[in-house]
Every structure is written in C-alpha cells, then in structure tokens.
Amino acid sequence: MVMSEKSHRQLTAKAELLIQPGERIVHTLYAKAGTVPIKKNLASIAASVAVGAMVTAVTGGTGMVMVNMFDKARVYIAVTDRSLLIFAGRRNRSGPGDLVAHVPREVVTATVLSNRVAYKLRLDFAGSDQALRLTFAPLPRGLKDTGRYLAALLQQPTSTGESESRRRRE
C-alpha cells in the first residue's frame, strides 16, 4: 500500500461518515493536485537563493536551506461504488483534512494528460467548467500505478448504473 496505514484509516473513517447506507469504499489514494505557477514564483526563487547563500556563508558551508515552493497541494481521495470524495491534505501533517468535494461517479470523467515520469490525470466534472489536475509521482513505488487504477475505476459503471441496466434487461 502506498498510503500509510494511519492515513488510510483516517480517510476511511472520514469517508464512512459521509457515504450513503449500503455504499462501500472501493479504493483510497492520495495525489498532488493543481499546477505550479513558475512565473509567479520567480521572486521567491531569487529570495530562496539569496537566503541559501547567506546561510551557507554564515555556517561556513555546513548549513542548508530547503524551501519547497513548488510543492503541489496533496489531496486524499476515497472512491466508493457510487461516488468520489475528495479531501484536502493537512498542511503540516499527513492525512486527510476538510472535505473538498463529494460527487457521484457518473459526473466524473478522467483524462490521462501524461504517462511519462509522473502519471498526470485530469478529472472533469459534468456541469462544471472546473477540473482537478492530479499528479502521481513515480516514487514512492506504486503511486503511479494508483493513478492508473483510479482512471480505470472511473471508467467502470457504478453500482447504481449496473442495477439500472440489470432492471432494463429483465
């Protein structure tokens, strides 16, 4: 499992409070969301380099400053047999934070943007002009496969869709 057991338990507990009776969690995962605006961060890059040079000079080359300005926000996703629950990641701790979206799976369309070093996926929501861009890094091992699995899950019919099609056949 790519996600820590503690984060998995927290995500499952939060999701179970929000799902309908009879609905079951099929998969849990996390990914990085959004894009990084490099042009907007040019001033931050210059400041980071200046601070890093100053710390190196003061400590005689032994100090090191790492500023993670280009890190995307982490989101935690619970996929049920009927819906998709998206939680924001907590800022200074691992695990899911507040609920961002709870949408039926029927309205979500997954589009693969890139399958190179990182697996990038865009989730479009029917009736909305907003999309969620997810990035699944190659490390830790298996995270990229989690993105592929999410895309495959969203291609499958939901349990409500299956029961409706069964009713039509009968």
pLDDT tens string 134-164: 998 887 778 888 889 999 999 888 765 443 3
Domain region containing 116: 5-35+72-169
The verdict on residue 49 lying in a domain is no
Q: Is residue 50 part of a domain?
A: no
Q: Is residue 54 part of a domain?
A: no
Return the SS3 of 139: coil
In a domain, 62, yes or no: no
Tens of pLDDT, residue by residue over 12-61, are 999 999 999 999 999 999 999 886 555 555 555 555 555 555 555 555 55
Which CATH number does the domain housing residue 133 bear? 2.30.29.30
pTM value > 0.75: no
Give the chain's domain count. 1
* Structural domain contains residue 63: no
Contact between 123 and 93 under an 8 Å Cβ cutoff? The reply is no
d(Cα 63, Cα 143) in Å, to the nearest integer?
A: 32
Residue 98 in domain: yes
Instruction: Note whether residue 120 is domain-resident.
Output: yes
Token pair listed for 104? 């039926």
